[in-house]
Structure 1
């Protein structure tokens, strides 16, 4: 645990310093994107924050490759460097979009290229979680296509929720901590000689990078992560999920209580539920209006929260609370009996639903009394 926390700290310190540098460069060179109708800020802000997050990830990964215990992850394993290469590609694509406003199909090609780099040289989805037995995928081509598809979907999901100050970074921190604890606990309790794990390292470094970035991005934001940062978070989160999902057939997750076979797939979906829900709703909404699924609008979940009466910070904190319920509710399945966890999760979700709707219900009640 200590080495993972040291890598997390390394990423956080580097990310904080690099983001501060990106702020200075962006402001001095006036690298601002035009303010769009869907934006909730009224003054120009640099979108170079993704560089700070990437710097934290890059530095921590290099340090880890030469550090006690975690260096075993890199021995005879090209996967971490494949993930790093894909991350570098998506940061370049995101920066080009932030500065030049690429057409949606150009950005999609760039996302696909980054995802293919990870799938070919990094990590691959080789097992589909299924009850009672996981399904093995034999075709290398299917490995690559399935992996790339999952990564592209996750990148777009995180990109879609990056609409309020601190939202995407905070969601990544909360979800990443839940993911980190699960992966670490499973390997810590397993009867294996090498307990080092790429999924645990990726989530630790991701959390650290976002922790270092968040002080610069908290409302009122001094810098945005931009598409480069949001898509980078999605790529790293998806890569960690793919690594843990591929470990189903190893027997590691059989040691977990509750619903062991589907824990590796349950937790990523729990962590990513809000981003994926926002993505699905946006695609349906835009398609129904005869528009491209990738065209921008002001109908995302965080926009809806603002519309029903939440303040900027209030909407962000509410999304944090939802992410905590879903992420740690999923984590609980790995530790406690599933029947008890299910009841508590349902009650927590009902309570959060009431909290979410409270401003709307209060306004309706006031109008009724009048």
Structure 2
């Protein structure tokens, strides 16, 4: 655990330092978010949070290769991590080009698919799909298709939700921490090595996301841009895919202590990125339906995302982001907790968290501090 904290800290610190340099480069090259009608920022703001976070991920990976415990792990651990870093560099480069020149939707999609194909070619892919009580084996073509679909879907979901200062980075940080907890506990309870690529990647990812937040949280001095949002969605999806490749199917389906727990335990490695990013995925689906029904492209921008609705019902910019954080935390940690712990206590705890989150969403805008004179 201590070495994972080192990986987290290195990623956080390097990302924080590189963000200042990236911000200056964005100004120099003109990678700046102009103010448009559908935007909520009031002044032009530089992009390039993605390259800063990629630098943090690379630094974390290189540090891990020299740590006493992690450096002695199986070759597959660093093989998967290296593949994800390479694929992440590809999708980050696509995002940088988009931040500079505003690629059309088809070109951006092709770049996302290319990044997915790169990690598949380097060995990070689904070898099976965990089902209830069994597994479904996949051939090479099926494996590639399922892997690329999850990667592209997650990258786009994070990209769609990146509409408020610090929203995407904070939500993915929460999801990465929850995923790390799931992977680490699964390894401990099943007697497997604690050195696993999924834990290494999510520790580094959480550090990179938190490291960029001082620059990106409201009022933002820089945006992570498409280079950042697609990168962090990509790494989160690949972490889940890597987990299924490094754990035997029986270990994942057995859950904690080898006991058959809940239905979610069997499917969690597959649905975890979706569950952690439930709000962005729902937002993505609603946006596609809304725009298609209006006769527009599913990728055409508008100002009707969930975070825009929160602003409309009275939340401030900062409160809207915190509400989205609370929902992300509820879904991510609630899903992990319910999947690993059986019994009525887990269900009751989940619904209590859900009630508190709902109250936070609808009651906070009505609350105003009392001014005392």
TM-score (ref. length: structure 1): 0.92
Stretch moving more, 199-208 or 116-125: 116-125
Q: Deviations over 1:104-137 (max 9, x none)?
A: 1111111111111112214101221211212121
Aligned partner of 1:303 in structure 2 is 308
Q: Aligned in 2, Cα 1:38/1:153: closer, same or farther, shift over 3 Å?
A: same
Match of 1:212 in 2: 211
Partner of 1:324: 329
Matched with 2:360 is 355
Q: What is residue 89 of structure 1 aligned with on the other side? A: 90
State which drifts further: 158-167 or 69-78. Answer: 69-78
Question: Which range is displaced more, 125-134 or 2-11?
Answer: 125-134
| Residues in 2 aligned to 1:17 and 1:359: alpha-carbon distance in whole angstroms | 34
Which residue number in structure 2 is paired with residue 190 of structure 1?
190
User: Deviation at 1:273?
Assistant: 0.8
After alignment, is 226-235 or 81-90 more displaced?
A: 81-90
Check the 8 A contact 2:253/2:266 in 1, yes or no.
yes
Which residue in the other structure is 1:157 paired with? 157
C-alpha separation in 2, matches of 1:133 and 1:96: 43
Tell me by how many angstroms 1:47 deviates: 0.7
Task: Give the aligned CA root-mean-square deviation in angstroms.
Answer: 2.0
CA shift in 2, pair 1:46/1:338, >3 Å: farther
For the residues of structure 2 that align with 1:162 and 1:275, how far apart are their CA atoms? Answer: 9
Flag the 1:266–1:115 CA change in 2: closer, same or farther, 3 A: closer
Q: CA deviation at 1:60?
A: 0.8
The 3 A distance-change label for structure 1 pair 297 and 280 is same
Spell out, residue by residue over 1:34-70, the C-alpha distance to the aligned partner (whole angstroms, 9 max, x if none): 3222110011110111111110001111221232222
Number of the residue aligned with 1:366: none
Contact 2:31 2:99 in 1 (8 A): no
Q: Distance in 1 between matches of 2:149 and 2:58?
A: 24
Deviations 1:243-271 (A, max 9, x none): 22343514255241632323323533321
Q: Equivalents in 1 of 2:230, 2:24: separation in Å?
A: 23
Count matched residues.
360
| Contact persistence 1:65–1:74 (CA under 8 A) | no
Counterparts of 1:170 and 1:72, CA distance in 2: 32
TM-score normalized with structure 2 length: 0.91
> The residue matched to 1:343 in structure 2 has which SS?
helix
SS state of the match for residue 35, structure 2?
Answer: coil
Aligned to 1:67: 67
Q: Give unpaired runs (5+ residues) of structure 2.
A: 368-373
The 8 Å contact of residues 129 and 248 in structure 1, kept in 2 or not, is answered as: no
Partner secondary structure for residue 220 of structure 1: coil
Question: Structure 1 stretch 325-334 or stretch 247-256: which is displaced more?
Answer: 247-256
Per-residue displacement from partner, 1:58-109 (whole Å, max 9, x unpaired)? 1111221232222245625632222111101111100111111111111111
2:106 alignment counterpart = 105
What is the rounded CA distance, in whole Å, between the counterparts of 1:238 and 1:255 in structure 2? 20
Are 2:176 and 2:203, in contact at CA under 8 Å, matched by a contact in 1?
A: yes
Q: Counterpart of 1:271?
A: 276
